[in-house]
Amino acid sequence: MPLTALKPVADLRDRLREATLSAHRQLDGLLAGGLADVATYHAYLRGMHRFISDAEAVLDEPPLRSLWLSADLVALELPPLPPCGRLQRATGAEERLGWRYVIAGSSMGARLLRRDAQRLGFTAQRGARFLDRHAIDGEWPAVLQQLAQAALPPAREALLVEGAHDAFAAAEAGLRRALLLDDVP
């Protein structure tokens, strides 16, 4: 077999994307119709606020995106979802990068959802500050660069995947609660 016929080994980003594809699809499926109406948008804001607040705690980072979401909740007079359970801080760099991969990657979806929010009448000045800012926050290229530069042995790569899975699960849990798909308040 000629060398050109060999399939190249996937890079770390491709392996991470493949390892989390099911979790990503499951989360996306909760908003398969986008932000079709005001009630869905309200649920999205509440669910994302819970997820981002939890993520900032897990990563031990100062609030930024959660403040944008808090401003949207206040503007629309929506109560935040209360925390559910205890969070454990991400301790290793790989686990933290897995969480950042999910958070930064959600900015790609925010670009599409921002259009839906605008169609519903929400703007950066009225209830869509998070989507407006998150869609352009620029963290995604930095995360991709970190992934491109990382050379992880299998055990450390497993921690990266675990962090991303934990982040997808937290995002899904927050959105499911906000969409009233789970019994947890």
**157: in domain:** no
Could you count the other beta carbons within 10 Å of the beta carbon of residue 67? 17
Domain that includes residue 118, residue range? 35-93+106-137+169-178
Structure confidence by residue, pLDDT tens digits, 116-168: 999 999 999 999 999 999 999 989 999 999 999 998 999 999 999 999 999 99
**Residue 129, SS3 per DSSP:** helix
**Residue 44 contacts residue 174 (beta carbons within 8 Å):** no
**Residue 111 contacts residue 79 (beta carbons within 8 Å):** no
Q: Which amino acid is at 51?
A: F
Calpha distance 67→54 (Å, rounded): 12
Q: Annotate 124-134 with b (16+ C-beta within 10 A) or e (fewer).
A: beebbbbbbbb
Structure confidence by residue, pLDDT tens digits, 34-89: 999 999 999 999 999 999 999 999 999 999 999 999 999 999 999 999 998 778 89
Q: Read out DSSP for 8-28?
A: PPP-HHHHHHHHTHHHHHHHH
% helix / strand / coil in the chain, to the nearest 5? 65, 0, 35
Phi/psi for 146 (5° steps) reads: -60, -45
Read off the pLDDT band of 10 (50, 70, 90).
Answer: confident
Q: Which amino acid is at 144?
A: L
Structure confidence by residue, pLDDT tens digits, 22-47: 999 999 999 999 999 999 999 999 99
Domain count, the chain: 1
**159: in domain:** no
**24: in domain:** no
**50: in domain:** yes
Calpha distance 145→165 (Å, rounded): 20
3: tokens are 């060398």
97: tokens are 């990068």
**15: in domain:** no
**65: in domain:** yes
Give the residues across from 127 on adjacent strands. Answer: 123
**142: in domain:** no
**143: in domain:** no
Q: What is the dihedral of CA 157, 141, 20, 94, to 10 degrees?
A: 30
